[in-house]
Structure 1
Amino acid sequence: MHSRTLIPAIVAIASGAALLSAAALPAAAGTVQRVVVPDAYGVREGTVGAAALLAKTETCTQISQAKYAKDAGGTKSIPVCGTEGAVFWKADMDIDCDGQSTTACNSQTDPWFLSDTAFHQSDGKPLNAEKLPFIVVPSPSTTWRYSDYGIKGGGVVAVIYEGKVRYGVVGDTGPTTIIGEASYAMAKSLGIDPDPATGGVSSGVTYILFKNSTVSPIESHSAAVTLGDQLAQQFVAAS
């Protein structure tokens, strides 16, 4: 995560699990039918709507020792909240373009570009922020240690913005005092300006991180969507 100022800023999956095709398939009795609908980015991900997920985040049980700011030097007003199966926060979105150098993400397009990410692909390379939807978590500190709550690199996340739900992974770590950042690909999939220098959005983004989950390999977005949809169903069904 970059120390930006005034820049508007989700396991292994069961063997054989797969996404359904764009054509709606008949649902077996007692099962939830996945509907995959084309949109500006390609498909709508999963079966759980934004409203159902947001309803589970209306009440915050704060688990962080203190609160985070959206940007460096800003007011610390954002708590990390916890439930039995997930942690979440509501913040802005800054754009992370770190990792592999690509057409959209490089030292020329991103003033804060770093050629590495905290977590790596299965081949050892840094993540590709232009292609892979992922989010950034604050580095461990006295404020909050993500690993103490079952959150790890490659863990599944759901990100909600303006009625859209997108899945991804925990892909990078950032400063210890600010929160609210995701990859170029995640921003683009949500209809947020992904420009690393001038893009992002200043508020309205909900990040839900599912505890004790791991996507393998971390760079498989389809695996993140499949597992994310399963965990989202469990999340909204929990009492």
Structure 2
Amino acid sequence: MNATINNEQQLYVYQHVEGYSCWGFAPAFSETTALAQRLQREDLLPDLGEFGQLSVLDKHQSLIRLAAGVDLGTWFDPKTPTAVRKILEQLRKSGERVRLFLGDTDSGLSWLDEFDVIGRIGRSCGTLKVPLLIGDESDAGGHAILDACLIRIQRLSDGEDLYRHEYFHLPDMNLTTDSNHPYPYVILVEGETHARFARQAQACHWMAFMAGEVTQPLA
């Protein structure tokens, strides 16, 4: 295994021919634990003393080899609520298009993601088939969903919330103007410039999209 440990940032760092990739200590430990439990291999369960050690990666690799050919269904982050898992699976089977809102799952605060948030639900290939968001009807693939960070799932056809965090809310947003700028309509988020627009209608549409009041972003 070509991996090293970065204790300062709590990351495993992998070196590849193309460059480097990393995996956090916490998600590595969590996924290895969940996989060992799913496969009923207590001998490969990492203990707390191994947190941040290469032995966690060794156990993870062993578990992945054992899981090859085993149908584990859709693989969700261990922190993903059961309600979210059920809804994503229903959407994967129905093919309905949705809008995903990501944010802090403790407070319900939206991260105001505006790109790669609309599409239908699919799942990846491989041993751990993670949920994907497929952005275009013609696409054969998509990108992995941060399913543990979902705070709202909205159906596009009618705007209905299929899932909504109990405390879902937006950060403080205000629309102001700056006549000396070519994009004079400024959206402040928590007092800081977040976005600029040439027309007021565009700025208002963006704010409405962030709130889920309209289901389509600006064209």
| Larger-gyration structure (1/2) | 2
Q: Relative contact order, CA 8 A, sep 6+: which one is greater? A: 1
**TM-score (normalizing by structure 2):** 0.24
More strand by share: 2
More helix by share: 2
**TM-score (normalizing by structure 1):** 0.23
